[in-house]
Amino acid sequence: MVKGLGKGIGALFPGEAVQQEGNIQQIALEKLIANPFQPRKLFQDEALEELAQSIKEHGIIQPIIARKKGRKYEIIAGERRWRAAKLAGLEEISVLVKEMTEQQMMEVAILENLQREDLTPIEEAEAYSSLIEQLNFTQEDLASRLGKSRPHIANHIRLLQLPEEVRVLVNDGSLTMGHGRTLLGLKNKRQIAEVAKKVIAQQLNVRQLEALVQSLNENVSRETKTPSRDIFVQATEAQLRDYFGTSVQIKKQKDKGKIEIEFYSDEDLERILEILRLERTE
Q: Is 79 a catalytic residue?
A: yes
Q: Is the CB of residue 170 less than 8 Å from the CB of residue 276? A: no
**Active-site option among 16, 30, 79, 282:** 79
Of the candidates 119, 147, 143, 118, the one whose C-alpha atom is nearest the C-alpha of residue 131 is 143
The span from the CA of 264 to the CA of 282, in Å, is 18
**C-beta pairs of 145-154 under 8 Å, 24+ apart in sequence:** 145/12, 146/2, 146/4, 146/5, 146/12, 146/114, 147/3, 147/4, 147/5, 148/2, 148/3, 148/4, 150/270, 150/271, 150/274, 151/271, 151/274, 151/275, 153/128, 154/267, 154/268, 154/270, 154/271, 154/274
- Pair type for strands 72-77 and 32-33: parallel
The separation between the first and the last C-alpha atoms of the chain, rounded to the nearest angstrom, is 33
Neighbours of 101 (CB within 10 A): 11
The residues that are catalytic are 79
